A and B are shown apart, each in its own frame.
Chain A
Amino acid sequence: MALAQNRSTVDDGLKSELGKKGIVVTTIQELYNWGRRSSIWPLQFGLACCAIEMIATACARYDIARFGAELFRGSPRQADLMIVAGTVTKKMAPQIVRLYNQMPEPKYVITMGACSIAGGPFIDGYNVLKGIDRYIPIDVHLPGCPPRPEALLWGLTQLQKKIDHQEIEKAEWYQKSLKREFPIPEFGPKGLIPKFNPEVWRPETASHRRERYGDPVLLGKKMIAPKFETFGDPQVKVGTV
């Protein structure tokens, strides 16, 4: 994340001193970003248990309104932020890409929870998309199963930092080459077509999962990952450490 260049000729110390006296010295960019980051309107939709945490975040105890993001919009046309809260099944994925396409610029996405990041506990299943980042670009990945409301607030503040660091002149949604509409996947005989959008996401060349746990082998009726119980190190046995 590159910091926006400070072009202000006013000294920071002087600025804060003036601020104490009730005089605000600012740049257009600061004002613009302050306004944008203090009024992020999320799109109101939840997919699974993460949505419950999202609802809790919006309620009085955690109070997302402190960060100016309390206005959950029912229409993608009025929303700035998409919180993908929950498991994205293959049946749901096209609708999410469609909603993303319908959101106006500038738009941001937070993936909330292990499922929407990479499939979570359903990664070996036939029905769950292994991460919504296969079809749309993501700004903040928020791990957890589900993440607590504090974590969502943390994710939101990270996004606010990102917005603070964007420059108006160089903002990506003003660039001509920017492509922010992504083709909506279709249902095929074996799963979604395409399996991923190579402009947005590409598979890892080496599987960290396989490296860590080894190739799963069939032992009787059970699948066993050889290095699973030793936590990747064959020298270390569980319980001996």
Chain B
Amino acid sequence: MNTAEIKSLLEKKFPGLEIKIVNDGLVLKPEDLLRVAKFLKESPEFKLDYLSLITGVDYVEFLESVCHLYSVEKRLGPVVLKVRFPRTSPTQIPSLVSLYRGAEFQEREAYDMMGIVYEGHPDLRRIFMWEGFEGFPLRKDYVPEDEDVLEWEDVEWLERHNVKVPEEYKTFAEQLKAAGKEARATRPKPGAEA
């Protein structure tokens, strides 16, 4: 069964459903994802009972959440479901945890790296980065810190731990703080706002 056949079957099942085929994947609207996945999992002709992957993609113009579904019994797959949404507004993407328990950690990873908020996820928090980390490092507009420059909080921390900080680092950190700037790597990235 190829992607076009799945598409026509789905359109027959859900009248008015908007589906696009992009690179052998089915692009759905965020609000349709859950009911389509539920149908694909439970209907006897698909029986897509195995979720192998959920991940996020940053296309600069928009973000995408991708999931790959397989059927062990029918030897079908991967059926690729994609959801696209703007990167600015925090669009809520339905979580697949209610259907596939294995989605939990993968959705946490997509949230941690790309900042995709899955609605209905039981425990959506960071998985790789520590708590309190700011930003989503795999987004294309993320600029990592400049690790060769001490900032004021570093200077304060070092002095609290009885480490002598050279004067030139101190004054530079003070200047940075006074200018309200952060020491970020200057390397520009595609889609960076600056």
B153 touches A (CB below 8 Å): yes
In the complex, are the beta carbons of A223 and B150 less than 8 A apart? no
Give the dominant DSSP class at A's interface: loop
Measured in the bound complex, the distance between the Cα atoms of B155 and A188 in whole Å is 13
B6 touches A (CB below 8 Å): no
Which single residue of chain A is at the shortest CB-CB distance from B144?
A126
In the complex, are the beta carbons of B187 and A216 less than 8 A apart? yes
Interface size class of A (residues with CB under 8 A): 20 to 34
Query: Which listed residue (A183, A203, A216) contacts B158, Cβ 8 A?
Result: A183
The minimal Cβ–Cβ distance linking B133 to chain A, given in whole angstroms, is 6
Measured in the bound complex, the distance between the Cα atoms of B157 and A187 in whole Å is 12
Chain B residues closer than 8 Å to A190, beta-carbon distance: 133-135, 144-145, 182
B:176-194 near A, CB below 8 Å: 182, 185, 187-190
Q: Mark A167-209, 1 if CB is under 8 A from B, else 0.
A: 0000000000000000100111111011111110011000000
In the complex, are the beta carbons of A193 and B187 less than 8 A apart? no
Q: Take A126-B137, A187-B133, A218-B190 as given contacts and tell me if A199 and B163 are in contact as well, using a CB distance cutoff of 8 Å.
A: yes
In the complex, are the beta carbons of B153 and A193 less than 8 A apart? yes
Measured in the bound complex, the distance between the Cα atoms of B183 and A188 in whole Å is 14
Query: Which listed residue (B130, B157, B158, B185) contacts A91, Cβ 8 A?
Result: B130
A125 touches B (CB below 8 Å): yes
The minimal Cβ–Cβ distance linking B1 to chain A, given in whole angstroms, is 36
- Kindly specify which of B69-77, B96-104, B164-172 makes contact with the partner chain: B164-172
In the complex, are the beta carbons of B134 and A198 less than 8 A apart? no
Chain B residues closer than 8 Å to A223, beta-carbon distance: 187-188
In the complex, are the beta carbons of B158 and A189 less than 8 A apart? no
Which single residue of chain A is at the shortest CB-CB distance from B160?
A183
B:3-56 near A, CB below 8 Å: none
Chain B residues closer than 8 Å to A193, beta-carbon distance: 153-154, 157
Chain A residues closer than 8 Å to B164, beta-carbon distance: 198-199
A221 touches B (CB below 8 Å): yes
Chain B: interface residue total (CB-CB under 8 A):
35
The minimal Cβ–Cβ distance linking B57 to chain A, given in whole angstroms, is 15
Measured in the bound complex, the distance between the Cα atoms of B163 and A188 in whole Å is 18
Chain B residues closer than 8 Å to A189, beta-carbon distance: 132-134
Most central of B149, B163, B190 by chain A CB within 10 Å:
B163
Chain A residues closer than 8 Å to B189, beta-carbon distance: 218
Q: Take A126-B137, A190-B134, A221-B190 as given contacts and tell me if A195 and B157 are in contact as well, using a CB distance cutoff of 8 Å.
A: no
The minimal Cβ–Cβ distance linking A137 to chain B, given in whole angstroms, is 14
A:203-241 near B, CB below 8 Å: 203, 216, 218, 221, 223
Measured in the bound complex, the distance between the Cα atoms of B157 and A130 in whole Å is 20
B142 touches A (CB below 8 Å): yes
B148 touches A (CB below 8 Å): yes
Which single residue of chain B is at the shortest CB-CB distance from A119?
B147
Which single residue of chain A is at the shortest CB-CB distance from B184?
A190
Which single residue of chain B is at the shortest CB-CB distance from A194?
B154
Q: Take A187-B133, A197-B163 as given contacts and tell me if A126 and B157 are in contact as well, using a CB distance cutoff of 8 Å.
A: no
Which single residue of chain A is at the shortest CB-CB distance from B143?
A126
A158 touches B (CB below 8 Å): no
A:107-144 near B, CB below 8 Å: 124-127, 130
Residue numbers of B with Cβ under 8 A of A are: 128-135, 137, 142, 144-145, 147-151, 153-155, 157-158, 161-166, 169, 182, 185, 187-190
Q: List 11 A-B contacts (CB under 8 A).
A: A126-B137, A126-B144, A189-B134, A190-B182, A195-B147, A198-B163, A199-B163, A199-B164, A202-B166, A203-B148, A216-B187
